[in-house]
Structure 1
């Protein structure tokens, strides 16, 4: 839903009716994961996608029905190899889809106007770069938007609000989306779908070279908050790196020592100059980061390893370093190099083999 936040906010502010269709469960191989969203406006306009085409027509028909009835719907799509006319996923997986009508004009807390208020608050928070989660009661449609300290909306069951709020905050902290079955002592279970929109992960690119400009573009495409940093002001300019969120003129190791990183963070050192590389890599390899890579030839890297060992880094710390950076795609240009680095980042993040799919077997998407 966050990908279509701008348009959804415009619909809410204009008081226009629409249906949000979200994937709330996936089994087996599927083109998109939990949280993927499409929205259908009352005038027929469609935003987003759930499957890349396999079930879009059926979802559109169901959304039209939900708009007419004003009631949420849940349905599942799978693959029936014996029925060529069945609606389902040709890849063989199964999707659970929740269709949620929203009518801003219905301003009652129990109606979809309450949902619109919660969604509006959540979407605005996400667009400001703040972590936020949306919890939707799949049986009633009641919606709770949850930030780090504040929340808007509720479950409609006072005794359940605290449980859902605590679980949603925990899932937001872990950057996890999914369906949970929650209840109060002695009460029945209620299915709750939580969609977490954490702050974007950071990509820190050190070295203001042409490869950095291409990698900044790729990082933004992948959803990272991109910073380009170099100590040389003549090269480190906004004009050279317009796609970056931040362009910083600092010694790389000094800047990295002052910023926060976590296991989602990516550090790419592209200077291939020992006076820059060694201090910043010493800092990067001793802090949380999901990926640390460095550009350079094999001879440059061998020399760099000797310098890093002399600087006190241990072998387990050095094993975290991906260098020479990127996968072997045979490319030479900055853009091709950026693709090879991005491919390695995606493969490592998703525990992919990085092998050609023609050389592998089994499910393409592992549940």
Structure 2
């Protein structure tokens, strides 16, 4: 049996910036703009060592003191507001630094860019549309590694060949005069839940809370499903005979929770041509082997690599028993698989 934690202990390293966080920042900026309140964009652009969150995380601070997002675990945000006061007054960007060993309880030295944040309506719409369409795009930030310095620093968005400046005061500098931080914003995890039982409801709620794009597929047209899955972005009433998984992309995971062997098999068949990176199936190891054997009997020419996408029993073996605990174990497993980087492995085969 292949399982992510079969004899191994994994440490998950998370991506620094999620597209739903950027969406929240843009919406926050628009609300502040409608109130006539200035906003600054705060970005962790340089990092020597380690910190609570990684290089590339961003937040917005309004002049009235309200905030969206966080650079740390809450340690420096008040200080960031005080540092932003001069940016509000002068409309001049600045870079500040923090020695995390003494101020944050971390082991890193942070360089934080604070810049006037101003986007017109078309710019906001372009960014939000890219996020909605699950398109990847780039953000490039220009700064200097100094303890505290004001200057012509700022960030640029590159979306489908269009360049968007974060504020009207920023002019693209000669690159050799500045440090440059390049960041790719990828789509958030898209979770497809096939099934509508109690455990599927819990998984939907937990994943939605994390900002994941949740799509629920059920063969039942029970009207209660709309109520039960209010947290889902989409609820599709599609039996396996008619379902088309053409919306699956590189950042999609699928969990089969129909509790029906025949339905799991039929939905699984539809995933063979273009499998996601992760397919979790509720059930025993024996049931998984039966499904795999039936797939190979039905499609003898199917790529064996398809079977490598299947994780069953779905979820990390944390001793989960309740639907809520099972949801957490599945989300943890998907996070580890989708991050696909920085996994620290410890062989624990000698334990016990």
- Further displaced range: 320-329 or 131-140: 131-140
Work out the CA distance in 1 between the residues paired with 2:154 and 2:113: 13
Identify which of 1, 10, 25 aligns with 1:4: 25
Cα offset, 1:247, TM superposition: 1.0
Residue matched to 1:270: 257
What displacement does 1:215 show?
1.1
Shift of 1:287: 1.8
Return closer, same or farther for 1:19/1:333 CA change in 2, 3 Å cut-off. same
Q: 2:23–2:128: 8 Å Cα contact kept in structure 1?
A: no
Instruction: Write the distance in 1 (CA, Å) between the matches of 2:61 and 2:126.
Output: 19
* Bigger mean CA deviation after superposition, 126-135 or 336-345: 126-135
After TM superposition, list the pairs within 5 Å mapping 1:122-141 onto structure 2: 122=126, 124-125=128-129, 131=135, 133-138=138-143, 140-141=152-153
Moved more, 259-268 or 126-135: 126-135
2:280 paired with 1:280: no
Bigger shift: residues 31-40 or 323-332: 31-40
SS of residue in 1 equivalent to 2:79 = helix
Hey, what's the Cα distance between the residues in 1 that align with 2:35 and 2:181?
Answer: 26
**What is the deviation of 1:328?**
1.4
Distance 1:197 1:212 in 2: 29
2:295 corresponds to which of 308, 311, 314 = 308
**2:134 matches 1:147:** no
Higher mean displacement: 4-13 or 261-270: 4-13
Map of 1:100 onto structure 2: 115
| 2:43 maps to 1:56 | no
Give the Cα separation in 2 of the matches to 1:117 and 1:314.
47
Is 2:254–2:279's contact at 8 Å kept on the other side of the alignment? yes
Report how many aligned residue pairs link the two structures: 310
Number of the residue aligned with 1:292: 279
* Contact map agreement 1:214 1:334 (CA 8 A) in 2: yes
Q: Which of the numbers 322, 325, 337 marks the counterpart of 2:326?
A: 337
Unaligned runs of at least 5 residues, structure 2: 1-21, 144-150, 347-352
- The residue number in structure 1 matching 2:189 is 201
Q: Which moved more, 1:30-39 or 1:117-126?
A: 117-126
Using CA pairs under 8 Å that are at least 6 residues apart, name the structure with larger relative contact order, 1 or 2. 2
**Structure 1: gaps of 5 or more residues:** 81-85, 103-112, 161-181, 356-367
Distance 1:124 1:44 in 2: 24
How far apart are residue 294 of structure 1 and its match?
Answer: 0.6
With structure 1 as the length reference, what TM-score do the two structures score? 0.73
Taking the aligned partners of 1:129 and 1:8, their CA distance within structure 2 comes to 21
Deviation at 1:54, TM superposition (A): 3.2
TM-score, normalised via structure 2 length: 0.75
**CA distance 1:149–1:101, change in 2 (3 Å):** closer
Structure 2: how far apart are the matches of 1:41 and 1:269?
Answer: 43
Deviation per CA, 1:224-247: give whole Å up to 9, x if none.
Answer: 221111222237731221111111
